Each structure stands twice: as structure tokens, then as C-alpha cells.
Amino acid sequence: MKKWLKSLQAKYLLLILLAVLALPISFPIVSMVVYLPATLLEDPNEPYGNFSTFESRWNKEADALNGAEDEQVSARLYELHEEFPDAAMFWVNGQGETMETVNYEASLPEQWSSLYTVQFMKKNYDNDPFTVVSFIGGSKEQGFMVVQLDREFIGPRLHN
């Protein structure tokens, strides 16, 4: 038995065993080495945050406009534009009419059809600029508001 422990075969088996045991330990360590610097470099004070915080903020803003008059929605868009100067915004009322555009340079129809809405959504889904569409007040009867922002202004998607 003592002779076998000193053999080359035993040493190699010990080496393989240590490698197999070290593998599960190394994955979390490597993950932290890669993940933590990115989270530390993320600036929470920047106005846009990351993808999920920006999207949830826009959804909350849209929900907060529940029952608002047209002028209130338009005024809120201009207030949001002061907070997010690089973002393009517009809103469409419940009848499908484009009501207000802020810093939006592409052309939009005066009256939205279901075909154009689907086309707009397909064109802007998971694309640059990052686009968030939210129903005003959480219901389609009041219309929807859209924000678009170049992905360079939003940090890496680290949080879901």
C-alpha cells in the first residue's frame, strides 16, 4: 500500500482528483472576477441607468399619466425630455392620432393603423435605438407613449 502511494500512478490520480474538485470552485470565482468589475464601473447616477431601469422608469411614467388630459401628457413628455435630453419621444392617443413628438426626427403618420403599428414594433424590436413602448395609464384606450434612445447611452445589461 505504501509503495502504491509513492507510485507515479497515484500521483497522477491525485492530480486528476484535485482538478475535478477545483473545477466547480473555479466557476464562481471566475464569474465574480468577470462580473464584479462591470457592476462597479456602472454609474448609477447617470440619467439613463441600464436597460431594465430605463424601461421600468418609462413604464412607471406612462402608468402615472392615467386619466391625464392631452396637454398634461405632452407637458410631461417635455419634462422627461429635459431629464433625458438624448432620448426621442412621442405619444399617440387612443384614437391612433400622433399627438406630440419630442426630439423625434423620423416621420410618423398622423393616423396610426394597426398595420403601421405592427411594422413600427417589428422594425424597432431589439434594435438600435433602444425602444420602449408603454400604454398610458396601463390601458390601450388612453394611447401609448414611446421613447427611443441610442444604446450607447445605456449601460450593459447586467440586471434583469
151 pLDDT band (50/70/90 cuts)?
confident
- pTM, entire model: 0.69
* Residues 71 and 99: beta-carbon distance below 8 Å: no
List, for residues 57-105, the tens digit of each pLDDT value: 999 999 999 999 999 999 999 999 999 999 999 999 999 999 999 999 8
- Residue 3 or residue 14, greater confidence: 14
Of 76 and 154, the structure prediction assigns the larger pLDDT to 76
Which residue segments constitute the domains of the chain, with CATH numbers given?
2-41 (no CATH), 51-153 (3.30.450)
Mean pLDDT of 108-121: 93
Q: For the residues 9-33, what does the mean pLDDT come to?
A: 89
